Structure 1
C-alpha cells in the first residue's frame, strides 16, 4: 500500500488552483498603503476581491487612495494611523471590524528610517522610533486581530521586511536590525498561531523604486553596485512585491507559513 492510500484522495493536478489566488470577500488591512509597495499591495488585493482597509499616517493621502479604489468599484475604507503608537494599531483593528465585520488578512508594510549612518551615531530617539513602527506596530496590530481571525477560522499575516533583515546594509544599521526582528517575529507568529489557522510569512524586498528608497536608487554609485551584484539587472518596482503578497495572502499559499521570501532580483543569491 502506498502512502497515498492512507490519506484523502489527491486532487487532480491544477484543479481550481487559479481560483485560490482570489480573495473575494476577505477583509484585508494594509498599513503604509498610500504609496509605493503598500499602495500596490492594497490595489492588488482590492482588484482580487478583498475588502480593504487602507491605512497610513496622513489623512489626505488615505482619502485619495480610498476614492481612487472606490472609483474602480472596490469596497474599501481608510483610517489615518501611526503604527508607532499602540493605541492607533488597536483602533485600526477595531475600526476594520466595525466597517467590515472581521479581519482575514494583515499586511504590515508601514516602516520608518529616520537615520542613515553608523551605529556610533545612532540615538536612543531614533532607535525607539524605528523599532516602534517597524516591529512593535506589527506586533500590536496582529495581537489585537488574533482573536478576530481565530473566530473567522484563521487568516494570513504578510510582513514586509527587507533584504537588510537578512544581511545588514551599510549605513542602515538600526533599520536592518528592526527588519531582522520583523523576520523573527514572523517566524514566532507562524509557530505559535499555526494551530489557530493563522499563517504568517515575510517578504524581503531588495532595491525597489519607491519614494522611501529614493536616496538609494537615485544614487548612481549605489544603484550600479546593486545592479552589478544581481542576476536580474534592473531595479524592482512595487508590483514585483504585490504579486507575491497576493499569493501569501490568498489560499494559493495555504501550506506556506513561517517563510522568508526574497524579492531582490537575485541580489542575495
Structure 2
C-alpha cells in the first residue's frame, strides 16, 4: 500500500535515517518522511533490496540514499552513519526498525544462540547505533528525534513470539532511559505496532484463523497497515510532538496493550 500523504512538508530540510527500511513497515516509514520533504537514508542487509527500494522511492520524487547495513555489524553501522553525515552533514531523525524473530520455541526451550541474536538485533543494535562518541548521537543536534519500533507483543506475548516479545518489552524501558540521557536536545519515543500483514508477520497474519482471532481482539476489527505505523512514527518525530518524549505510542486498533 502506498502512502496516502501527498502534501504537507513537516520534514523539509531534515535528514532521516531508517534501519531495515527496504520493505514492510520500514519502507513505509521512509516513504512517509520522504513525501513530507525529508532526505531519507534507507538501509537493509542486501544490496539488491537497497537498490530496488531506492528506485521505488526516487520514482515518487523522494530524496533518498541507500546503504547496506546489517545492524549487528559494527563496521556497517559506522558506515551507515558516516555515509549519512558525509552526504548531508547531520542527522535529524533516527528510526530504529530492525528486528528478528529466529525462533518460535517456548522460552525455556530457546537456544542460547537465539537468545543472543534477539538481544543483539532487537535491543543492543539500537543502543550501539546511537552510542555517544561512536555513531549517530554526536551528529544529532537540538530538536532531533529518535523513534524505536517495538511491538504490541511487548505487552502481550503471543505463544510463538515469546522471547521476541520480551526483547520488545525491553525497548519500552530503553525508550525511557534514552529520553532522559539525550534530553533536552533529542526526544526519544517508541511506537508499538499491532499486527500488520508483512513478510515478517506472514506466518501469523497469513493464517486465516489466526488473522480472524486477531481482528476480533481489536476494537476496529481489522489489522493495521504499514501506513498506519508510518503515520505514527512521523507524528512522534515531528514538531507536532515537540512536548512528547520517553513515551510509547501503541498503534494496534484498540487491542489491549498495557502491562
Normalization by structure 2: what TM-score?
0.92
* Offset, 1:64: 1.0
* Offset, 1:43: 0.4
Partners of 1:68 and 1:210 in 2: CA distance: 18
1:43 and 2:34 equivalent?
no
What is the DSSP-based 3-state SS (H/G/I as helix, E as strand, rest coil) of the residue aligned with 1:241? helix
Residue 224 of structure 2: aligned partner: 236
Residue 181 of structure 1: aligned partner: 170
Cα deviations by residue, 1:138-193 (Å, 9 ceiling, x for unpaired): 1111122111113xx24100111001112222221210111111121111111111
Residue 3 of structure 2: aligned partner: none
Map of 1:128-207 to 2, 5 A cutoff? 128-143=116-131, 144-150=135-141, 153-195=142-184, 197-207=185-195
What is the DSSP-based 3-state SS (H/G/I as helix, E as strand, rest coil) of the residue aligned with 2:159? coil
Where do 5+ consecutive residues of structure 1 fail to align?
A: 1-17
What is the DSSP-based 3-state SS (H/G/I as helix, E as strand, rest coil) of the residue aligned with 2:183? helix
What is the DSSP-based 3-state SS (H/G/I as helix, E as strand, rest coil) of the residue aligned with 2:223? coil
Partners of 1:91 and 1:172 in 2: CA distance: 32
What is the DSSP-based 3-state SS (H/G/I as helix, E as strand, rest coil) of the residue aligned with 2:156? coil
Where do 5+ consecutive residues of structure 2 fail to align?
A: 1-6
Normalization by structure 1: what TM-score?
0.88
Residue 15 of structure 1: aligned partner: none
Contact 2:197 2:206 in 1 (8 A): no
Contact 1:90 1:140 in 2 (8 A): no
Cα deviations by residue, 1:199-244 (Å, 9 ceiling, x for unpaired): 0110001110111001111112221221222111011110010111
Partners of 1:71 and 1:218 in 2: CA distance: 30
Show structure 1 runs of 4+ deviating over 3 A: none
For the pair shown, which has the larger CA radius of gyration, 1 or 2? 1
CA root-mean-square deviation:
1.5
